[in-house]
Structure 1
Amino acid sequence: MDYSDVLAAASRIDGLVLRTPVLEVSPGLFFKLELLQHSGSFKVRGAFNRMLSAGELPSSGVIAASGGNHGLAVAYAARVLGVRAEIFVPEVTSPVKVAGLEALGAHITQTGAIYSEAAEAAAKRAAESGALAVHAYDQAEVVAGQGTTGLEIVEQTGGVDTVVVAVGGGGFASGITLGTSAPTPSPSSDPTPTPSLSPTPGSVAAPGSVAAPGSVATRGSGPRIIAVEPERIPTLHEALRAGHPVPVEVGGVAADALGATKIGTIAFEILSSPRVESVLVTDEAIVEARRTLWARHRVAAEPAGATAYAALLAGAYTPAPGERVAVVLCGSNTDPSTLTP
């Protein structure tokens, strides 16, 4: 996969997804408000691209497994395209997301304790029904669709040094890595690129440590990507340590949206780039970031949607003076009553 796949996806889904706004909340700090997207998250981009790339959809429709947001996106896209959607979700899925699926007319099966168990059930059902499977993160069309967010970030900000994004299965972060990969001049005033402090692919910051400020790798290939995960679901972090995707335990406040047990194969290949650095944040930092987004900016984010911002607030990533940073706020499917203590 490469940048051209994302450009093709952008053309394919044009008019079906929102060009979500970017806000400069302080000098050089931008929020990409992907939580205002149809269905409440970026996921609809990949869902539409996968479905439209398939040609004529089967009479049995489409099927997906999801912690919630992907299911909502597939259900939304299926309704727009006039096909049946069958969605498998685990028991950990929030009531808000289940209610959203019902409102969209999806046929829902809630099974398994975590996403991977729901995914197994969905795969079995797809083989029986012949429905088109729309994977939450490990399909090329899905990754390319998510990457259209990256195209918009570059266009709307005029270019940034760093993009901070949450990681679950890795489809969104890998798509954004591709979507921001067109060669562009540095937006910073210093014409000399800052060398990467990590010569090995896929830099990993140890838990409790912080990413080095201002070290932008492979400038000609796009901005640095700070891939943020909860400490309790470190799929990319552990994969980079091991040199290949490995299963991890799933838990914590963002498990319903970031609860993949293993990083996707496509995502691991893309996120092993020297442009990418993996950092971890605590559940407490995610909760605080969510509350701060509401108190300071009146942005209502779910825990996964606030995870990228948590990296800045908690100091897991500290931008250098003058560094231009885009933080992607990726999901809003939450109960508003939980936004304050």
Structure 2
Amino acid sequence: MVQGCTPTIGEVKAAAERITGVVRPLTVAPAGGDLFLALEFLQHSGSFKARGAANLLAALLENGALPTAGITAASGANADLGFAWAASAFGVPATVFLAESAPAAKVERLRELGANVRVAGETQTDAKAFAAEFMARTGAIDACAYDRNLTAAGAGTLLLELADAVPGLDTVVLAVGAGGMFAGITAAAHHVGIRVVGAEPEGSRALNAALAAGDVQDVTVDSIAADSLGAPRVSAAALAWATAADAHSVVVGDDAIIRARRNLWEQRRLAIEHGSATGLAALATGAYLPREGERIGVVLCGANTDPRDLVG
């Protein structure tokens, strides 16, 4: 086991025990030759975030650490949906704060999941300030920040299922945003001897910049995939695991991401987020060049997208 890196493989395995039967098992589709697609966008809430959210809530309930006010989320991204879904699954109150500019469809979906949605402030930063006041007043837990180790370990369970589904898997390719999924998957992949390739847009390369500098860096975000991969900095855990596991870091342009997403729709009728297409774009452009016979799994991690731009 790699010392000093979190989450650990033990924590990933503990997460798998907690969330089995709660989250959907991973669906893996052969994509020709030695390529396999991990269809994690079929997960509850439309993304991998459901795994980490389920692990966090299960652990809080195990430890009797969940307050009466439940949890709060104010990320403005897929994490909100994951926490809202998990809260509903476990019968826990969830209050989500969104900016006035939030898409109406997202507000409606969160409410369908049972969350108490509060639209407050012109920007998501404003909404987070209202969330902070709510938590201070009620004692609700900030689900996005309370224990990132638990959410990362939950995401890492995906790799255990992928490795079981594809015997002899050599490499997993996945998109990287803030790095929670990357840290969890890399912890599990390193344990079983699977190479990890982290793919990022050229306009949102937080992991790539951190590896180049040897420390977490703030980056400017300007990408078609910023709605899901728009973190201005990668987590320290992701950088630690990328270094310890000698993970590959590659970047691709927005044009390649757009093409990869459209090709998935036109060739396979899979509608995913731009961010989810980043790993496939890395293979299509040669940003990552597989060896002959290398068995590769590509994680398609989210589909909270408007598919109308795929048609016509």
Structure 2 runs not aligned, ≥5 long:
1-5
1:241 maps onto 2:212 in alignment: yes
**Maintained 8 Å contact 1:67/1:92:** no
Match of 2:189 among 158, 175, 180: 180
DSSP-derived class of the 1:275 partner? coil
Larger helix fraction of residues? 2
Shift in Å at residue 74 of structure 1? 0.3
Aligned partner of 1:203 in structure 2 is none
d(CA) in 1 for partners of 2:122, 2:134: 14
Shift in Å at residue 13 of structure 1? 0.8
Count residues with an aligned counterpart: 302
Aligned partner of 1:9 in structure 2 is 15
Q: Percent identity?
A: 43
CA RMSD for the aligned pairs?
2.2
Q: After superposition, what is the alpha-carbon deviation per residue over 1:240-285, rounded to whole angstroms, capped at 9, x for unaligned?
A: 1221112112232211211211111222222222431111111111
**Maintained 8 Å contact 2:180/2:235:** yes
**Maintained 8 Å contact 1:68/1:257:** yes
1:42 maps onto 2:48 in alignment: yes
1:30 maps onto 2:1 in alignment: no
Shift in Å at residue 118 of structure 1? 5.4
Aligned partner of 2:162 in structure 1 is 153
TM-score (norm 1): 0.82
**Maintained 8 Å contact 1:96/1:334:** no
d(CA) in 2 for partners of 1:138, 1:260: 18
Match of 1:72 among 64, 69, 81: 81
Q: After superposition, what is the alpha-carbon deviation per residue over 1:31-54, rounded to whole angstroms, capped at 9, x for unaligned?
A: 000000011001000001111111
DSSP-derived class of the 2:31 partner? strand
DSSP-derived class of the 1:15 partner? coil
1:332 maps onto 2:290 in alignment: no
TM-score (norm 2): 0.89
User: Structure 1 residues 155, 313: closer, same or farther in 2, change over 3 A?
Assistant: same
**Maintained 8 Å contact 1:64/1:136:** no
Q: Could you tell me which amino acid in structure 1 is paired with residue 152 of structure 2?
A: V
Shift in Å at residue 340 of structure 1? 3.3
Q: After superposition, what is the alpha-carbon deviation per residue over 1:296-315, rounded to whole angstroms, capped at 9, x for unaligned?
A: 11111011121211111122
Q: After superposition, what is the alpha-carbon deviation per residue over 1:222-250, rounded to whole angstroms, capped at 9, x for unaligned?
A: 21111011111111111112211121122
Aligned partner of 2:95 in structure 1 is 86
d(CA) in 2 for partners of 1:153, 1:71: 25
Aligned partner of 1:199 in structure 2 is none
d(CA) in 1 for partners of 2:17, 2:74: 26
d(CA) in 2 for partners of 1:154, 1:11: 16
DSSP-derived class of the 2:244 partner? coil
Match of 1:288 among 259, 269, 280: 259
Shift in Å at residue 94 of structure 1? 5.0
**Maintained 8 Å contact 1:138/1:264:** no
